[in-house]
């Protein structure tokens, strides 16, 4: 497909990796934030191509992974009601809460449906006027405009039976938290290209200035990521800490003004708890008061709940780039994509799931070697 295949040329990939290794005078630690990028890096073995010049560590990954246990519990509670049609992106269904997940609710007869677009959830609310249609609005900034548009349409049409359970998270506050940690090892960041398509990269310029860390906005294909790593290594070797844009075919400095306008109209920034990390100030969106009639937490009067993460899971360290998935004693044994203990094994885009899919055998050998 045009604009995909040409960014997968193996000859150029090898040349880029050679240049990265030739330029590096010492090993550098680089973090990618987006699970989609983690997936590409692992799938094409880019981490091995650039080693030992660059060590890639993996960030918070994906909104599915970091959706708080309590929010999943709320989704399960709402979806279990007989008067509710619960609508979600497919990857949220397997995510375990503290006692159940949405798949189990569906298996027990709950009306849980998967959609491709939030607009499909609005359509369901229109078609099922006697059902209470609840959409699970998760996502990074990439997904927020579409979810905001769904709320806006339902509001404009007066669809009182449509509400959303909002669990939106924002990338820059998570990077800030990571950089404030005294134990962090990250020397450069690949910023998520689709988040920046929507938001632009002025927030990342603030981070680069404040923490003197280079950031390159990167795309999602192998050559995009190798080029982003090459740009980061050049900056690190030069002692620069700028924001550069590798993914210029989609990203502009100001982002997408129409998308940002609808997000600002419907959402406001709030504190948000991240699974595996904890609460991060000003790191999420909630609905503005004007849209309270479409806010599932208010509509269903849910009481606040707290739930504990499994003690064995080291996802807090994995999500901050301090440990790698095979460092975990439960990896691939008690924790697998079918029986995930923690956030990064939950979604296919999580770092643990990516290692499980592409590096399982290697990890097994490592584990065998240890015993």
Residues in contact with another protein by the rule CB under 8 A: 1-4, 6-7, 9, 11-12, 15-16, 18-19, 21-22, 34-36, 62-64, 89, 91, 116-120, 138-140, 142-143, 145-146, 149, 192, 194-195, 197-198, 223, 227, 230, 246, 248-251, 256, 258-259, 262, 347, 349
CB of 166 to another protein, least distance (A): 15
Decide whether 97 or 193 has the Cβ nearer to another protein.
193
Q: At its nearest, how many Å lie between another protein and the CB of residue 152?
A: 10
As measured in angstroms, the least distance from the Cβ of 276 to another protein is: 16
Residue 242 or residue 364: which is nearer to another protein going by CB?
242
Interatomic CA distance for residues 293 and 300, integer angstroms: 10
Compare residues 93 and 330 and give the one whose CB is closer to another protein. 93
Q: How far is the CB of 94 from another protein (least distance, A)?
A: 13
Cβ-based nearer residue to another protein, 142 or 163:
142
Asked if 247 and 217 count as a contact pair (C-beta separation under 8 A), the reply is yes
Nearest-angstrom CA–CA distance, 164 and 6? 39
Burial of 207 (0-12, 13-18, 19+ CB in 10 A): buried
Phi, psi of 370 (to 5 degrees): -80, -25
CB closer to another protein out of 56 and 149: 149
CB of 59 to another protein, least distance (A): 13
Q: Which is nearer to another protein, 39 or 184 (CB)?
A: 39
Residue number with CB closer to another protein (257 or 369): 257
User: Cβ 8 to another protein, closest distance in Å?
Assistant: 11
Q: Are 288 and 266 in contact (CB under 8 A)?
A: yes
Q: Nearest distance from residue 21's CB to another protein, in Å?
A: 8
CB of 275 to another protein, least distance (A): 14
CB of 243 to another protein, least distance (A): 16
**CB nearer to another protein: pick between 134 and 330:** 134
Report residue 68 CA to chain centroid gap: 13
CB of 16 to another protein, least distance (A): 6
Where do we find the tokens 């900056």? 235
């Amino acid at each position: 497909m045009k604009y995909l295949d040409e960014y997968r040329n193996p000859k150029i990939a090898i040349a880029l990796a050679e240049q990265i290794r030739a330029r590096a005078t010492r090993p550098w630690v680089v973090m990618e934030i987006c699970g989609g990028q983690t997936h590409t890096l692992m799938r094409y073995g880019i981490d091995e191509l650039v080693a030992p010049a660059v060590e890639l560590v993996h960030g918070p990954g994906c909104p599915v992974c970091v959706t708080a246990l309590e929010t999943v519990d709320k989704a399960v509670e709402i979806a279990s009601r007989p008067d509710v049609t619960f609508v979600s992106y497919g990857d949220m269904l397997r995510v375990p809460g503290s006692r159940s997940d949405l798949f189990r609710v569906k298996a027990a007869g709950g009306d849980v449906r998967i959609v491709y677009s939030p607009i499909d959830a609005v359509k369901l609310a229109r078609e099922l006027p006697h059902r209470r249609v609840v959409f699970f609005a998760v996502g990074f900034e990439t997904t927020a405009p579409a979810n905001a548009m769904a709320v806006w349409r339902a509001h404009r049409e007066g669809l009182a039976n449509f509400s959303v359970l909002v669990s939106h998270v924002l990338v820059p506050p998570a990077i800030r938290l990571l950089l404030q940690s005294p134990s962090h090892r990250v020397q450069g960041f690949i910023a998520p290209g689709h988040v920046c398509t929507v938001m632009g990269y002025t927030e990342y310029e603030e981070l680069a200035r404040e923490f003197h860390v280079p950031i390159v906005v990167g795309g999602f294909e192998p050559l995009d990521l190798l080029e982003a790593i090459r740009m980061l290594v050049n900056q690190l070797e030069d002692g620069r800490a700028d924001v550069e844009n590798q993914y210029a075919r989609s990203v502009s400095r100001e982002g997408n003004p129409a998308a940002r306008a609808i997000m600002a109209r419907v959402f406001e920034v709030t504190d948000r708890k991240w699974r595996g990390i904890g609460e991060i100030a000003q790191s999420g969106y909630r609905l503005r008061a004007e849209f309270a009639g479409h806010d599932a937490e208010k509509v269903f009067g849910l009481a606040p709940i707290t739930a504990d993460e499994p003690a064995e899971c080291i996802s807090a360290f994995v999500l901050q780039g301090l440990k790698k998935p095979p460092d975990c004693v439960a990896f691939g044994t008690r924790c697998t994509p079918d029986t995930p203990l923690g956030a990064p094994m939950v979604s296919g885009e999580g770092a643990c799931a990516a290692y499980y899919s592409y590096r399982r055998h290697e990890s097994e050998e490592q584990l065998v070697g240890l015993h």
